[in-house]
Amino acid sequence: MKLNARRIEDLDLKNRRVLVRVDFNCPQDDSGRLTDDTRIRAALPTIREILARGGRPVLMSHLGRPKGKVVESMRLAPMGARLAELLGVQVLALKDCIGTEVRAQIDHAPAGSVVLLENVRFHAGDEAGDAAFAKALAANGELFINDAFGAAHRDHASVCGVARELPAAAGRLMEKEIAAFSRVLDNPARPLVAILGGAKVSDKLQVVDNLLDKVDALLVGGGMAYTVLAARGVSTGKSLVQADQLASVQAALEKAKQRKVEVLLPLDHVCAANFAESEAPVAVDGEAIPAHLMGLDIGPKTRQRYAACIGGAKTVVWNGPMGVFEWPAFRGGTEAIGRAVAGCAGYTVIGGGDSVAAIELLGLADKVKHISTGGGASLELLEGTLLPGIAVLAKS
């Protein structure tokens, strides 16, 4: 997968309004305070480059799911304030993202400042991919740069529609994300090891099918592991099992056998009598889980075996936790995998949600070669899907 699109250096930015799709969908606490500014930091190289080349950055992003209505708690002003701190320049957070008043504010913004449009999802036309809304957004700029990898799997007006209206290019974060996944999927150093976790195997079957043509070993954990174990005839007790997926999993296991891909499954477990954080963890030494227990994490033998496999890899990609990571008693497996990935000398990529949270909790994020900013987007890339937000840049 190569990025067949314009790059920032291909555009003449001087004195031009440069509309930039960023992903400032950052988590906040109940008081509205930002709890993680990773996505804002990830956009800094592109914004700084536009400013350095004399361009006038006009940023747009979504936040949450306001469903086409103004929701006060989903305004982008807190992101604008944090961006101003990080950039050291004035950031004007506007109250809307389209219209003559917005355009006037953009035109009168001080030289060297950044304009941040209001949440594009306050208008239903964004998620609907409405062409008229895309034209209204495009009126805010003369050029378009897409740096929102986390939204690249959505054919939304602010992602794809604007790229059809203006000369478009990929931002530095977009380039970085594509380069990382290309290195994993197209021509990886071997052995290539994929680690998949999460609750439901149905969410990852397309990923499994695509990766079985590419990887040397597949390590499975989380709730999805119990459906795979059940498909192999192993007793799983009260664990989460998607019975309607057993035939599909059996077909995947057969494909792995034909491709000579080693599929590693839990050898032991950390279980509980019920699905509750207050439950006491129960160690189960063996594949089979007793009828009165449910698996909530991989056990110590599994952690050791998986870590050894990861340690010998030249390329590693990890998506999904090994257990109920939110509960400390069932976090050990995910932490062990995080430490193994951080300690791997090969090229390591982490994509998505709890995997990223785990590596950051351990303070080991700087030990991983690439941490993706897009959970859903990275998952679809692993499925072998060409993301619409990338495809439209190639056509631009």
Contact between 119 and 75 (Cβ < 8 Å): yes
Classify burial at 52, counting beta carbons within 10 Å of its beta carbon; exposed 0-12, middle 13-18, buried 19 or more.
exposed
Say what the pLDDT of residue 396 is. Answer: 56
Read off the tokens for 299: 């056990």
Question: Mean pLDDT of all residues in the chain?
Answer: 94
CATH architecture of 188-382: 3-Layer(aba) Sandwich (3.40)
Say what the pLDDT of residue 3 is. Answer: 57
pLDDT at 267 over 80: yes
Residue 353 falls in the annotated catalytic set: yes
Task: Give helix then strand counts, H and E, for the chain.
Answer: 13, 15
Residue 384 falls in the annotated catalytic set: no
Between the CA atoms of 345, 350, 355 and 359, what dihedral angle is there, to the nearest 10 degrees? 50
Mean pLDDT of 207-218: 95
**CA gap 22, 40 in Å, rounded:** 8
Residue 200 falls in the annotated catalytic set: yes
pLDDT at 369 over 90: yes
CATH topology of domain 8-175: Rossmann fold (3.40.50)
Instruction: Enumerate residues 6+ apart whose C-beta is below 8 A from 141.
Output: 16, 17, 18, 19, 58, 162, 166
Q: Which of 7, 16, 103, 200 is catalytic?
A: 200
Q: Which of 129, 311, 312, 376 is catalytic?
A: 376
Q: What's the predicted TM-score (pTM) here?
A: 0.90
Residue 39 falls in the annotated catalytic set: yes
31-77 pLDDT per residue, tens: 888 888 989 999 999 999 999 999 999 999 999 999 999 999 999 99
Residue ranges of domains in the chain: 8-175, 188-382
Q: Which of 6, 21, 39, 82 is catalytic?
A: 39
Q: What residue type is assigned to position 266 of the chain? A: P
pLDDT at 361 over 90: no
66-122 pLDDT per residue, tens: 999 999 999 999 999 999 999 999 999 999 999 999 999 999 999 999 999 999 999
Nearest to 46 by CA among 88, 8, 87: 8
Identical fold between 8-175 and 188-382: yes
Say what the pLDDT of residue 36 is. Answer: 85
Q: Which of 311, 312, 353, 384 is catalytic?
A: 353
DSSP character at residue 282: E
